[in-house]
Amino acid sequence: MAELDGNLWMYNLRRVVVVDVTDDYALMQPPMPTVCYPVLAEHWLPRHGLMRALPLADLVTGYLYDWHESPSEPEGEIVVGVVRQDLVDQLLGTNRHPVA
Domain borders along the chain are 11-92
Q: Could you give the strand order of the β-sheet that contains 78-84, starting from the edge strand earlier in sequence?
A: 39-46, 13-20, 78-84, 63-69
Which of the pair, 12 or 8, is modelled with greater confidence? 12
pLDDT range class, residue 98, cuts 50, 70, 90:
low
Contact residues for 64 (Cβ-Cβ < 8 A; gap 6+): 82, 83, 84, 85, 88
> Residue 17: its pLDDT value, please?
97
pLDDT digits (tens, 9 = 90+) for 73-97: 878 899 999 999 998 888 888 766 5
> Residue 100: its pLDDT value, please?
47
Residue 98, H or E segment: none
Mean pLDDT of 36-43: 96
